[in-house]
Chains A and B, each alone.
Chain A
Amino acid sequence: DAKTTQPNSMESNEEEPVHLPCNHSTISGTDYIHWYRQLPSQGPEYVIHGLTSNVNNRMASLAIAEDRKSSTLILHRATLRDAAVYYCILRYVFRGSTLGRLYFGRGTQLTVWP
Chain B
Amino acid sequence: NAGVTQTPKFQVLKTGQSMTLQCAQDMNHEYMSWYRQDPGMGLRLIHYSVGAGITDQGEVPNGYNVSRSTTEDFPLRLLSAAPSQTSVYFCASKGTGGTDTQYFGPGTRLTVL
Is the pair A100, B42 in contact by a Cβ cutoff of 8 Å? no
**A45 closest partner in B (C-beta):** B104
A43 → B minimal CB distance (Å): 3
**B91 closest partner in A (C-beta):** A43
Is the pair A87, B100 in contact by a Cβ cutoff of 8 Å? no
Residue in A34, A87, A100 whose CB lies within 8 Å of B33: A100
How many positions in chain A have a CB within 8 Å of any CB in the partner chain?
24
Q: How large is the interface on B (under 10, 10 to 19, 20 to 34, 35 or more residues)?
A: 20 to 34
Residue in B31, B42, B50, B58 whose CB lies within 8 Å of A106: B42
Residue in B42, B48, B58, B102 whose CB lies within 8 Å of A107: B42
> What is A's interface to B at a CB cutoff of 8 Å?
32, 34, 36, 41-46, 49, 87, 91, 96-107
| Nearest 10 A/B pairs, CB to CB | A43-B104, A104-B42, A100-B31, A104-B43, A46-B101, A43-B90, A44-B104, A105-B42, A106-B42, A43-B107
